[in-house]
Amino acid sequence: MIKIWGRSSAYNVQKVLWTIGELELPYQHINAGGSVGGLDQPEFLGMNPNGRIPVIVDDNITIWESNSIVRYLCAQYSHDWLWAKTPAKRSLAERWMDWELATLQPDFLDLFWSFYRTPEALHDHQKIQNASERCQKHLAMLDAHLAEQTFLAGDEFSMGDIPVATSLYRYFEMGIPTPQIPNVRRWNGALAERKPYREHIMTPFDELCGRQTF
């Protein structure tokens, strides 16, 4: 059975839980990180020398980096459903996973930390404004892409939807004004019809509000 380490309020852990839910895989969830800690323990560092969550163990393989775990699970268990068979078709999903990690996430995390995880009295309004504008630029591009197709990689749900949508749930729910992005909203609405998304992504994250540790 797959074992996954990581607190369920961590959005990188949520990507993996959502994927496991889509694939209906049995798993054991071990709480780690956050107020539970444990990431600096030798046993945990032996699995992930970065001391970060999520980590999974499946049979004799240990994997860290959330998007790599999502890729592994889809390749290993989705029987060509979430993991497209041809490299060309797969690249349509993979680019959005890499875009999430390299482009959206740095700016979104900047916004999330400066707006949501910093106590209001300590807000740096210029920093929030700058991060918000960078996110809006990314989302305008995403909205234009989704004007042309139902999901990120085409007309069907794929692994490419998981990382981006996981970040965006927080963007929409953290209480900051958001731009008009009707196609992104429509896509989000379609994802909210999926049970694993509702179970693992549409969950409260208020334990992180104003909290600058972990």
Alpha carbons 42 and 51: distance in angstroms, whole number: 9
What DSSP string describes 14-81? HHHHHHHHHHT--EEEE--BTTTB-TTSHHHHHH-TT--S-EEEETTEEEESHHHHHHHHHHHHSTTS
- Applying CB under 6 A, which part among 52-60, 75-83, 140-148, 180-188 lies near ligand GSH? 52-60
Instruction: Give the one residue of 65, 89, 110, 127 binding ligand GSH; rule: CB under 6 A.
Output: 65
Distance of closest approach, residue 170 Cβ to ligand GSH, in angstroms: 11
Nearest to 83 by CA among 157, 183, 171: 157
Identify which of residues 105 and 146 has a Cβ nearer to ligand GSH in the complex.
105
Q: Which residue is nearest to ligand GSH (CB)?
A: 33
Taking CB under 6 A as the binding criterion, the range among 48-56, 125-133, 152-160, 198-206 that sits at the site for ligand GSH is 48-56
What type of residue sits at position 96? W
Q: In what order do the strands lie in the sheet with 55-58?
A: 27-30, 2-5, 55-58, 61-64
Rounded CA-CA distance 33/39 in Å is 6
Task: Count the residues in the chain.
Answer: 214
Binding-residue total with ligand GSH (CB under 6 A): 13
Q: Which of 11, 99, 115, 171 binds ligand GSH (CB under 6 A)?
A: 11
Q: Does 10 bind ligand GSH (CB under 6 A)?
A: yes
In single-letter form, the type of residue at position 175 comes to G
**Contact between 34 and ligand GSH per CB under 6 A:** yes
- Which residues ranging from 107 to 126 are in contact with ligand GSH (CB under 6 A)? none
Q: Would you say 51 or 154 has its CB closer to ligand GSH?
A: 51
Determine, following the binding rule CB under 6 A, whether residue 131 of this chain makes contact with ligand GSH.
no
Instruction: Based on the shown chain and the rule CB under 6 A, indicate whether residue 159 belongs to the binding site for ligand GSH.
Output: no
The Cα 50–Cα 93 span in angstroms is 26
Q: Which helix or strand (DSSP H or E) is residue 2 part of?
A: strand 2-5
Among 3, 29, 30, 52, binds ligand GSH (CB under 6 A): 52
Name the site residues for ligand GSH (rule: CB under 6 A). 7, 10-12, 33-34, 39, 52-54, 65-66, 214
